[in-house]
A and B are shown apart, each in its own frame.
Chain A
Amino acid sequence: MPEGPAPAPVTQRLRVRYAKRGRLRFTSHRDISRAVERAVRRAGIPVAFSAGFSPHPKISYAGAAATGTASEAEYLELGLTEHRDPARVREELDAALPDGLDIVDVVAVPAGAGKPSALADRLEASEWRIRLDGVPEGAAAAAVSAFLDAGAVEVERLTKKGRRRFDARSAVSAMEVERRAAEPADAPCAILRMVVRHTTPAVRPDDILTGLRQVADLAPPSPPLVTRLAQGPLDAATGGLADPLDPDRETATTHGSVAGAAGGAAQPQPGDAASADAVGARP
């Protein structure tokens, strides 16, 4: 066993929303996790480490958009050994990351409020925007109608376990062609917006494009530009997505603690260490 004292326990957990934009959408999930680990060190954020021969920083990721897919709403959780002001962490971590990996929001998980629900459980669905260059809006709208009218759209994808067939339709709770001010430009372009529930197997934007091709022969001439706009709990009433970090903000307010508010000064909470292990667990 390694010599020396046990690593410092987690005393504060931060939930972080980040974006991957522009050319950095070509980063893979592994690229991002290396970049975040380095940024945390450069920013001097007191991240906790696991015990053992090769200690790992306690950073866990909730899902991840595929390589090549841009996102405005990716999530990770940091376990810290000392309390930090979430607003300052947002600024410092953002400054330490390369442009294009940008920190959007940081919220502290409220202490003493019982075990908060896991972040991954709140990410019930994603809202996607798919830009299809070279596709006329009319053709896109027709394909969307055909897709929504279909009872089921079976698609096939090569997964790690081999070829799998599954229904791409049932996971889609909303889909439409984004209305834009008509541009004089002669290059046609259609933009799709959709809300897709997280299911198993996961239905990805790719699968939906496969489905659109199957039902309506929609074949974009160039690679589609896919952006995840939001992730979160699905609001049954509106069909939209709620902010998955809101429950942490709300709990913080209810319990009269400012730890969860982005601008508040964080107070050390004894007993937090008990939850240390939960942070290290990867979803």
Chain B
Amino acid sequence: MSVESIFPRLEPLLPGVQKPIQYVGGELNSQVEDWDGADVRWALMYPDAYEVGLPNQGVQILYEILNERDRTLAERTYSVWPDMEAVMREHGIPQFTVDGHRPVAAFDVLGVSFSTELGYTNLLTALDLAGIPLEARDRTDGHPIVLAGGHAAFNPEPIADFLDAAVLGDGEEIALAITEVIREWKAEGEPDGRDGLLLRLAASGGVYVPKFFDVSYLPDGRIQRVAPNRPGVPWRVEKHTVMDLDAWPYPKKPLVPLAETVHERFSVEIFRGCTRGCRFCQAGMITRPVRERSITTIGAMVDTGLKESGFTEVGLLSLSSADHSEIGEVAKGLADRYEGTNTSLSLPSTRVDAFNITLANEFSRGGRRSGLTFAPEGGSERMRKVINKMVSEDDLIRTVTTAYENGWRQVKLYFMCGLPTEEDEDVMAIAGMARRVIQAGRDATGRRDIRCTVSIGGFVPKPHTPFQWAAQCDHATVDRRLKMLKDELRGDKEYGRAIGLRYHDGQPSVIEGLLSRGDRRVGKVIRAVWEDGGRFDGWTEHFSYARWTACADKAFAGEPVDLDWYTVREREEVEVLPWDHLDAGLDREWLWQDWQEATDGSEVEDCRWTPCYDCGVCPTMGTEIQIGPTGKKLLPLNVL
């Protein structure tokens, strides 16, 4: 039975909505496969606006891999803006994919990639528009399996009621494995219906099915136990790790949108994982170990990606791109290959050292040297020791001096506010650092037009990090410290005007904290916020703190827990955390020890260059660090 496109019904309505191009599909390299030619059909969703979701690497990779597989199809769907939601409700148009404009409810799987917890309300909008019951227990055999992935899936408990399943870690291999399980189950005539399929998925230990686990609570509100509630379901669910990135050189044919999106470039992941050990960084903890893509695969991917897309910018992505063992050769090789072609290269996420200036110079050969970004994260030496960001202020000054000497005029510095053990003076130290940066620039160049932008984010403690036990800083304290810093810079006649300060107020971080470390009881709050109109919580203009607190008060009435309990409360070692049964490979004792060492400021070195410090990931997951050098070089394209 084929599924009709809803486009003929949608088209007459498009002139009435903002940026209609985001709903029409037809991107270069997108595809619409024959519905009846596939046995397993995925709708892949990024739960944010098209302009944010389209460039997402995870969705693009899975889209391509699934569509390459025989008798399997994948289409994409994104969150619709509130104006479109109203039009769809008025005319009875369901949540649709942008490829075939097919109703999401007709697919076998709705796979949702959560980079951030602030997309949870958007999941509910999509489910509701799709006509899929919000709660998993109300779904029947005809409904898609609602499956979450992405970093937020490492603690999916706050949305456990709305999910059928979640997957932790790299998606390439597990998405195909799930596809085959579904194919077999369908071929056998769908034995035992929906639960039969979910049980097959859960039995492997590689797919988390929340409803197969029961959570019980202590009278004081803490979790007593999380345990499987039926035979064949393992106690722990493991994350997935792709061990050979060269075997998965995706995206090969990047999607090129017609609409303007947040990243207009071809991105290549040059490695996954990070062992720098920054204690606040969830990404660095849950993606271990480091696995590099080889210089030759990187070169080939850039070549294909540019030819297939026509993009003029290449981004070399990873959690700390300058740490690739052959980054110097990669940079030089690409700069040589693309010199004179008006192709620009960018290297996000770099660390603070002079070597990065060499790289940045290579990448901007003959072009503009506008700004460089560094992330000291903490303003004082003490603070940086607590978070294990091993950068001294003198290192930073040396680095920016080199940058200014090489013609760079603007430096951007990233910090966090509200870190564990933080005092007012730690935040005020940011001002001192920014002043020294400006002075270093003036000394190096003899010019006065030196600029420095200080950008500050609120710290949110995340699951599977040493700070998972920490008390989150309350928003009033964060706001007060930021105001002190702002006043200090504003009153500075010598440097103040050369320093730009960017920050957000502290309230959204509190809600992100609730959703990050919440348990299943938080689902009621999410649902209440959504029912009250909450949408696009990652967008300042849509986010309402008052709505979240009011809904939390109501949902937690009569319970021993509240918003503060989830956020500003420090946890003890023995407390069962909502995600303890979800295994990122990290040894819980090591995490606790690292948390203790953080508070006395002991630092941990990177295990790529120093002995293993037993974080637990490699032995638990059967993985190992994979780094070069390979000794290979990038040859000019015309001799290949």
Contacts and interface: CB of A to CB of B under 8 A. Distances in A.
Decide whether A and B assemble into one complex. Answer: yes
Interface residues of B, number: 31
Band of interface residues on A: 20 to 34
B26 A54 contact: no
B2 interface: no
Nearest to B310: A38
A210 interface: no
Most buried by B among A23, A30, A54, A67: A23
Q: Which of A26, A28, A41, A49 has the most CB of B within 10 A?
A: A26
Contacts of A30: 260
Given A23-B11, A38-B311, A49 B21 contact: no
A38 B368 contact: no
Contact of A23 (B7, B12, B16, B340): B7
Nearest to A35: B258
Interface string B266-308: 0000000000000000000000000000000000000000111
Contact of A27 (B15, B21, B264, B307): B21
Contact of A222 (B12, B20, B256): B12
A233 interface: no
Interface in B1-43: 7, 11-12, 14-16, 20-21, 24-28
A4 B365 CA distance: 9
A151 interface: no
A217 interface: no
B14 A26 contact: yes
B312 interface: yes
B26 A99 contact: yes
Interface in B235-280: 256, 258-260, 264
A127 to B, nearest CB: 21
B622 interface: no
B367 interface: yes
Contacts of B368: 2, 53-54
B521 to A, nearest CB: 43
B366 interface: yes
A42 B303 CA distance: 12
A24 B26 contact: yes
Contacts of B21: 26-28, 31, 67
A100 interface: yes
B24 A4 contact: no
B342 interface: yes
A35 B11 CA distance: 22
Given A23-B11, A31-B260, A68-B20, A41 B312 contact: yes
B426 to A, nearest CB: 38
Nearest to A24: B26
Given A4-B366, A26-B14, A53-B368, A42 B342 contact: no
Interface string A1-43: 0111000000000000000000110111011001101111110
B14 A34 contact: no
B342 A55 contact: yes
Nearest to A99: B26
Given A2-B368, A30-B260, A68-B20, A42 B26 contact: no
A40 B312 CA distance: 11
A67 B15 CA distance: 9
A49 B340 CA distance: 11
B116 interface: no
B56 interface: no
B11 A68 contact: no
A228 to B, nearest CB: 16
Nearest to A56: B342
Chain B binding surface, main DSSP class: loop
Given A38-B256, A49-B342, A24 B24 contact: yes
B224 interface: no
A114 interface: no
A222 B10 CA distance: 12
A98 interface: yes
Given A2-B368, A98-B28, A42 B309 contact: yes
A146 interface: no
A68 B14 contact: yes
Contact of A26 (B20, B256, B342): B20
Contact of B15 (A28, A35, A57, A68): A68
A223 interface: yes
Contacts of A24: 24, 26, 258
A38 B366 contact: no
A96 B310 CA distance: 9
Interface string A112-135: 000000000000000000000100
A57 B26 CA distance: 25
Contacts of A96: 310
B447 to A, nearest CB: 16
Nearest to A54: B368
Residue of B7, B21, B264, B366 contacting most chain A CB atoms (<10 Å): B21
A98 B27 contact: yes
A37 B264 CA distance: 12
B24 A42 contact: no
Interface in A45-98: 49, 53-55, 57, 67-68, 96, 98
A161 B359 CA distance: 47
A3 B15 CA distance: 47
> Nearest 3 pairs between A and B by C-beta?
A38-B310, A42-B310, A4-B366
22 contacts: A2-B367, A23-B25, A27-B21, A27-B258, A31-B258, A31-B259, A35-B256, A35-B258, A37-B310, A38-B256, A38-B310, A40-B310, A41-B306, A49-B342, A53-B368, A54-B368, A55-B342, A68-B14, A98-B26, A98-B27, A100-B26, A223-B16
Given A4-B365, A24-B24, A34-B260, 19 more contacts: A23-B24, A26-B14, A26-B21, A31-B21, A31-B258, A31-B260, A35-B258, A38-B309, A38-B310, A42-B307, A42-B308, A42-B310, A53-B367, A67-B21, A68-B14, A68-B15, A98-B26, A98-B27, A222-B12
